[in-house]
Structure 1
Amino acid sequence: MSAAPHADDARDVDVVCLGESMVTFVPSRPGRLADVPAFSRGIGGAESNVACTLARVGHTARWISRVGADGFGDHLVAEIAAAGVDVSYVRRDPDRPTGVYFRTAGERALGETDGGDGRGEGGGEGEGGGEELSEVVYYRAGSAAAAMSPDLVPREQTWSGRVLHLTGITAALSDGCRALLRELTTRAPGRPLVSFDVNYRTALWRGGGAGRLLDLARGCDLVFVGEDEAGAAWGLRGAAAIRAALPEPEVLVVKQGSAGATAYARRPAGGDEVTCEPAPRVEVVAAVGAGDAFAAGFLSGTLRGLPVAERLRHGHLMAAAALTVPGDLGAPPAREHADGLVALDAGAWGTLRLAPGWTDAGPVSAEVATP
């Protein structure tokens, strides 16, 4: 048995993603933030990353958030809409600013970042990944998105998709945001399938409270969590221990870095079907945004009703698309190309090596699929 989104004529999009997005500034050259003379502008945010990726692979996606009534808010809304995402429920706050952040080429794993971007879970570290840490500086305190609350985000908006995708980052932004996530992860008749990416960041939970993420996850239908972040947040070691602590979700996906991912899907008669899929080798350009891309790939497979193993492979491929570009969002492969790679036998899948530009390839063939 695996979590399946509800079919309901009242739900007018496939996925609703709710959470903060920020304008991101990336240095024009390598080096410390103190030494870099110029930056290029982009966008970053776990939930909008998922929405953009899903829209680019043919699903209908809606992003719900708040941004400032400022130029950065204009930029965010325009860029996310340009990816094909419905932004009609985004609200402009005249009193609070849009959040921004600055980062160097990579991303810290768990230690000092409080951002919403994956660092390669599900996609593997691959060649060139390394363990180099980088600087990430956020200016998000008091942001427009932090003002979200149950009073400002109506249920009919959040329940307007077949799937509602959330992350633990939102819960850490403010008391109002935390109350909103408590409401949205409380089981209630008629709610859509609720997907939750734990996205634990120690800087956001510096005063403690990581246990709240476990409580939120227990109320969801589909949960994504990295094996490393489960250890850092809850002291859990190994996929089986994580499942034992999170028996409630119908599907639990444990991301295991370069080793791949393991999914636990509850069977109708009880117990779990356990599915493990290794990650392909990836030549990493920047380990940013891969966790979000992995979630989008798995959700795409869920919406299409694919077997769990294929959902995991689609997650790995979307993560690889993010890992092989400098920014948070990589251009995903065409569906026909991705489906061809996902259909490879275990031996051919195990020899895949994905380098920058791999998503530009045409439909897969034996020659393309193997090194």
Structure 2
Amino acid sequence: MTGPEAVTVGETMVVLSPVDAALEHADRVRLGVGGAESNVAVGLAGLGHRVAWVSRVGDDPFGRMVAREVADAGVDVDLVAVDPAAPTGVYFKDPRPDATGVHYYRAGSAASRLGPEALDDPRLAGARLLHLSGVTPALSESCRALVSHAVDGRPLGDALVSFDVNHRPRLWPADRAADLLRDLADRADVVFVGLDEAERLWGSTDPQAVRRLLPHPQVVVVKDGAVGATALPRAGPGVFVPALRAPVVEPVGAGDAFAAGYLSGLLRGLGPTAALRCGHLVAVRALAVPGDCAPSPDRRDLDAAVALPPDRWAALDLVAAGLVDPAPADGGSAVPAAAGAVAGGLDAVAVGAGAAGSGTAGAGVAGSAVVETGWAGTENGRSGR
């Protein structure tokens, strides 16, 4: 049997979203699944890559649902362990006129028991890419050891190690997370970070400053909200790709889609400009639908848009190109696609003046923020209340 081309590792939870009401008034909820690393896995699988997701779920209906949904998206879940003693994490979305609240219930979850041994499986041999995020080391000491093992021990041999900083303030505040996230990022090969996130963590105010803080990765991708994204190699000039405009229904998961698109470009041998364009184009699909994941764009449509000259890229009509549906079902408006592409998961993303980057609490898409509360699930199980 052919092994995976790419591997992601991290927690995925069941998502409960109220139907046609704020959470406190809802009498119906819609169930789904969401997690930064499995979102990337699903995105890569949708783009034609062989992907395995490594995680841990509870021996409960939610755990079975998570594994089934990720598998149904074309991802190999054979290395998802079932924990007989710890539950699958859950979170609730709470849509509001000015924000989308996200309430976590993940303390002591099965995934918080992941450890370094999760990656020491011969079935992962030969993978070309290992993707992780800054969410995982915030979950527990064993999860922190897992990520350190990935970037230091290189359990997958020559595989590129990709790390999305993805700082979640509710899991650990910036003063606790800054040094460790910088250290982990600097030991990876490919790094994703939002510019405002880098400023909050490390005081960096431009992409070049971020690159100076992280001198060792092969490439650092800095996402700057409505402006665009810059890929800065270890040597030579950076490459900037400006934002597009896209309908936005919900920003959650768009940053993971951006990472999936960019990493797909790397796996396909595309250059930096084309890889960044892939990131933006896959992200706009996630922006245009509710939920954490969206169907990947048709490869022919994607490749045609990636190949456009700069002037046509800047004026790209995403609907005419077949990359998004004509109008969001719930009336979302057109905003710069790069703003969604920096969402990085469950915190927030901003559009327009002062636009945000990856994982920034208190920002918003077209005035709609994503705000985290609940039992966040750090090692003491009490962070994020």
CA distance in 1, matches of 2:199, 2:169: 12
- 2:215 maps to what in 1? 247
- Structure 2 residue 275 is the aligned partner of structure 1 residue 311: yes
Alignment of structure 1 residues 288-367 onto 2, 5 Å: 288-354=252-318, 358-359=322-323
Percent identity, aligned pairs only, is 47
CA distance in 2, matches of 1:205, 1:145: 17
- Structure 2 residue 224 is the aligned partner of structure 1 residue 256: yes
Gapped runs of 5+ residues in structure 2? 326-385
- 1:176 maps to what in 2? 142
CA distance in 1, matches of 2:67, 2:147: 22
CA distance in 2, matches of 1:26, 1:160: 38
Alignment of structure 1 residues 80-119 onto 2, 5 Å: 80-105=70-95
| AA of the residue aligned to 1:278 | P
- 2:42 maps to what in 1? 52
| AA of the residue aligned to 2:313 | W
CA distance in 1, matches of 2:281, 2:291: 16
CA distance in 1, matches of 2:105, 2:186: 31
Going from structure 1 to structure 2, the CA distance change for 1:188 and 1:11 (only over 3 Å counts) comes to farther
Q: 1:72 aligns with which of 62, 76, 101?
A: 62
| AA of the residue aligned to 1:86 | D
- 1:274 maps to what in 2? 238
Dislocated runs of 4+, deviation >4 Å: 157-160, 355-358
- Compute the RMSD of aligned alpha carbons: 2.1
CA contact (8 A) 1:331 1:359 kept: no
Going from structure 1 to structure 2, the CA distance change for 1:205 and 1:217 (only over 3 Å counts) comes to same
Going from structure 1 to structure 2, the CA distance change for 1:84 and 1:321 (only over 3 Å counts) comes to same
- Structure 2 residue 154 is the aligned partner of structure 1 residue 164: no
Number of residue pairs the alignment of both structures matches:
323
CA contact (8 A) 1:283 1:354 kept: no
1:122-168: per-residue Cα shift (whole Å, max 9, x none)?
A: xxxxxxxxx93221100100000000112454254555521000001
- SS of equivalent residue, structure 2 residue 7: strand
**TM-score (structure 2 length as normaliser):** 0.80
CA contact (8 A) 2:274 2:306 kept: yes
- 2:343 maps to what in 1? none
- SS of equivalent residue, structure 1 residue 13: coil
CA contact (8 A) 2:284 2:324 kept: no
- SS of equivalent residue, structure 2 residue 100: coil
| AA of the residue aligned to 1:74 | R
CA distance in 2, matches of 1:60, 1:336: 19
Going from structure 1 to structure 2, the CA distance change for 1:77 and 1:344 (only over 3 Å counts) comes to same
CA contact (8 A) 2:4 2:124 kept: no
1:215-268: per-residue Cα shift (whole Å, max 9, x none)?
A: 0001100001011111122221111110110111001100111111000123xx
CA distance in 1, matches of 2:60, 2:85: 10
CA distance in 2, matches of 1:349, 1:30: 38
- SS of equivalent residue, structure 1 residue 288: coil
| AA of the residue aligned to 2:204 | L
CA contact (8 A) 1:321 1:332 kept: yes
| AA of the residue aligned to 1:286 | E
1:69-88: per-residue Cα shift (whole Å, max 9, x none)?
A: 00001101011000110001
CA contact (8 A) 2:93 2:101 kept: yes
Gapped runs of 5+ residues in structure 1? 1-9, 107-130, 362-371
**TM-score (structure 1 length as normaliser):** 0.83
